[in-house]
Structure 1
Amino acid sequence: MSVTPPRRRARATAAALALVLLAATACNRGESAGGAPGTLKIGLLASLSGTYQAVGKDLRDGFELYLSTHDGKLGGHPIDLVVADEGNGAPTAVPAATKLLKQDRVVALTGIVGGGSVAAVYPLLNETKVPLVGSNGRPELKEVSRIWHTSYLSDEPGAAIAQHVRDNVKGSVYAIGPDYQGGWDELRGFTQAFAEVGGTLANPDGKTTFTPFPTTTNFTPYFARIKASGASAVFTFYAGSAAVDFVKQYAQSEIRDLPLYAAGFLTEGGVLDAQGEAARDIYSVLNYSPDLDNAENRAFVAAWKTKHDGSPTTYAMASYDAAAVLDRAIGAAGDDPTPESINEAIGKLGQITSPRGTWQFSTTTHSPVQKWYLRQVRQDGRALSNTVVGDLATVGR
């Protein structure tokens, strides 16, 4: 048996230790020991249970679709997508986000369904200095240096359709929605813009009616109030299972002949299938529709349909765009992408080509400056679909 001389053993041990340290350093820098880009962790937080489970699933699936069509990489780096359940809001969103940011140590966070969840997670982002590229609506925040959204501010859908409603409804409009952050923002956007263009609310004292969330499943008493108000039309925001309940009961109520206008989430995605004939003719406002005629959207819809039944939603599209934003930003962040360098790169992206059409981040709110579309639920072959019937305002500030 041969014996390695002590000096040679020491040199071999030192060399092995150097390789270990080199590999560890490369791993921390996001590259392999051989110099190739290493794996980066991205955290996706979405409602995979609760009232908005369908929305959260679309956020997850939209991001995963982008990864699957880009070799599982963003900016040239293999991506480990760590998915966590937001649940019904802040009480479950905060611990899930804490794990992603502090234990999993993701370089960026994406997703988040609820505006209340965004507000609750916001301090954690500042503490860990990790950027959020959110893909659903959010409230206005005072400081957004690490907050970016590929979707919209929650008051923008209502603001975008207010002028159209004022021009097409001869009389007052009744405003109703759920009593939580998202509902407050969505309805405020409509009622403020509607008042500014001379519209009148039919609600008592001119104040929006808010229904308890998430407990309200019977809307019949509220329909009686709308009937008594003498309203000529209704504007609302509901999503998820609440949207199904509202639309089905509306179609069977004594106000079923009143025109119904809504933020597009009322009839978006799987809820339209569940609503069926009850949703016919509803008007809605949204930043996306799968029937938009541009090359990016045709490719996106085709890719989506190879993996899923039905057409993609605005939630899926915004999450797909969040992945596209991170793809460009990580690629521009150099060989050593960090949360800070990725965040800085996002702010320099400029115009972004998207299935919704070209858009860009506002320099003040870090949300999209984008066009909004008027849609109506119409027959499309054998099924009902949200069909674009006109362009509305370009909104963003």
Structure 2
Amino acid sequence: MRLPRFAPPRLRRPFAAVVTGVLAVAAAGCDSTPAAQPQPIRIGMIANTAGPLQAPGYELRDGFQLYLDTHGGQLGGHPAQLIVEDEGYQSSVSVASATKLLEQDRVSALTGIINGGDVTAVLPLVNQHKVPLVGALGRPELSDVSYVWHTNLLSVEPGIAMAPFVRQKVKGTVYAIGPDFQSGRDEVRGFVETFTRLGGKLANPGGRAVFAPFPNTTDYRPYLKAIADSGADAIFCFFDAQNAIYFVQQYAKSEVAGLPIYASGFVTEPGSLATQGDAAAGIYNALNYSPDLDNAANREFVAAWNAAYPGRVPTSIVMASYDAAAVLDRAIAAAGVNPTPQEINAAIAGLGQLSSPRGPWQFAKDTHAPIQKWYLRQVRRDGRTLSNIVVSELATLGG
């Protein structure tokens, strides 16, 4: 498979065979190896390798890889092997990938996963095998998180964080729209429920958000015409990657181009923003990370990223995948020599506060998702380029 143009030359290799560390004979079993010696450890990643979510799929991989490259190719003192399998656009693909990783590759942990619905789909396998899933993007709320941890966010949170600001700024009605898959429905629901609870009113007919078919919608002109017909005073949206590019570019050429857009931060992440260009200028968005955050961990992270992947801007997905590796590093080290997946899972529960490029955070006991700050960003010109500039803090969510 040919990698997209934004991948640096040194990464032109098969997506499903990303390997870090030493694949020693001991990985297959070697009776002469002392039991006390740290053995190679396998981590399985599920991420999109093609299609409209390919870009965040590569960000998941590259964020995790950056941590390994800057930590001697090891996790918890063990040579680490990262095995990447496709997430696809049907849950059956994710389940097949998880089955391979758990039963054939016998990984000690899973990570990645872009669509929150796929987290739900693989959960029975995770619980059956008692292997921790340290996800690095969003997911829905779950009733059983015994073996589920997430280093990025719950999918409802970007909308929850943004809603009070929109309620303050917009005196009229807001039209809410997103893609019709689990994460899209969750992201928009978080906004709608919070915004209406605060007294805000939707312009959507019947007060119900609109969802475009995913992943194949490329023409948003009918939806933009519906926004115009609704008389909305502003738009709230969540889209990601290629769909975000289509929506923002078509919005800028539509009759609603004068309406302000408030969004989940994924709408204007750097991979999309580079193509959206001036069409995205002025968009306010909410996210848990921005590369211009001023803290020591972020400065070190951004410098390492820029050295490894010049020309690419680190995103919240990159950051959270980097943090997923950091979580596993600390947990594996704390779990003892050659720990079982169950011992690694127990060690994650005891990690406490973690240092991160986003700032300090920790897992909430009830959700196993981060307690963290959320930031208001706006797309503004920074020199000759457009960037998501942090305007202020919005809230701390997750506690």
- TM-score by length of structure 2 reads 0.91
Q: Secondary structure of 2:102's partner?
A: helix
Which aligned pairs between 1:13-92 and structure 2 lie closer than 5 A?
A: 32-33=33-34, 35-92=36-93
Say if 1:371 and 1:394, in contact at 8 Å, map to a contact too: yes
> What residue in structure 2 maps to residue 200 of structure 1?
201
Q: What is the CA distance between 1:223 and its match in structure 2?
A: 1.1
Deviation per CA, 1:247-290: give whole Å up to 9, x if none. 00001110001000100110112111111111111111000000
> What residue in structure 2 maps to residue 140 of structure 1?
141
Which residue among 374, 378, 389 is the counterpart of 1:387?
389
Which amino acid in the other structure matches residue 213 of structure 1? F
Say if 1:202 and 1:230, in contact at 8 Å, map to a contact too: yes
Say if 1:30 and 1:37, in contact at 8 Å, map to a contact too: no
> What residue in structure 2 maps to residue 331 of structure 1?
333
Say if 1:89 and 1:116, in contact at 8 Å, map to a contact too: no
Say if 2:36 and 2:337, in contact at 8 Å, map to a contact too: no
Deviation per CA, 1:187-238: give whole Å up to 9, x if none. 1100000011111111111110111112211111111111111111000000
Query: Which whole-Å CA distance do the structure 2 matches of 1:334 and 1:198 have between them?
Result: 52
Q: Secondary structure of 2:342's partner?
A: helix
Deviation per CA, 1:172-193: give whole Å up to 9, x if none. 1110111111111011100000
Query: Which whole-Å CA distance do the structure 2 matches of 1:251 and 1:344 have between them?
Result: 50
Q: What is the CA distance between 1:45 and its match in structure 2?
A: 1.1
> What residue in structure 2 maps to residue 281 of structure 1?
282
> What residue in structure 1 maps to residue 126 of structure 2?
125
Q: Secondary structure of 2:320's partner?
A: helix
> What residue in structure 2 maps to residue 258 of structure 1?
259
> What residue in structure 1 maps to residue 293 of structure 2?
292
Query: Which whole-Å CA distance do the structure 1 matches of 2:32 and 2:143 have between them?
Result: 36
Say if 1:244 and 1:274, in contact at 8 Å, map to a contact too: yes
Q: Secondary structure of 2:251's partner?
A: helix
Query: Which whole-Å CA distance do the structure 2 matches of 1:277 and 1:101 have between them?
Result: 45
Q: What is the CA distance between 1:144 and its match in structure 2?
A: 0.3
Unmatched tracts of structure 2, length 5 or more: 1-23
Runs of 4+ in 1 over 6 A off after TM superposition: 23-31
- TM-score by length of structure 1 reads 0.92
Which amino acid in the other structure matches residue 330 of structure 1? I
Say if 2:334 and 2:347, in contact at 8 Å, map to a contact too: yes
Q: Secondary structure of 1:211's partner?
A: strand
Query: Which whole-Å CA distance do the structure 1 matches of 2:164 and 2:25 have between them?
Result: 58
Say if 1:26 and 1:32, in contact at 8 Å, map to a contact too: no
Q: What is the CA distance between 1:88 and its match in structure 2?
A: 2.1
Unmatched tracts of structure 1, length 5 or more: 1-22
> What residue in structure 2 maps to residue 238 of structure 1?
239
> What residue in structure 1 maps to residue 271 of structure 2?
270
How many residues align? The count is 375
CA RMSD of superposed structures (Å):
1.8
Which aligned pairs between 1:75-224 and structure 2 lie closer than 5 A?
A: 75-224=76-225
Query: Which whole-Å CA distance do the structure 2 matches of 1:262 and 1:121 have between them?
Result: 29
Which residue among 371, 374, 377 is the counterpart of 2:376?
374
Which amino acid in the other structure matches residue 218 of structure 2? T
Say if 1:31 and 1:38, in contact at 8 Å, map to a contact too: no
> What residue in structure 2 maps to residue 342 of structure 1?
344
Query: Which whole-Å CA distance do the structure 1 matches of 2:191 and 2:165 have between them?
Result: 11
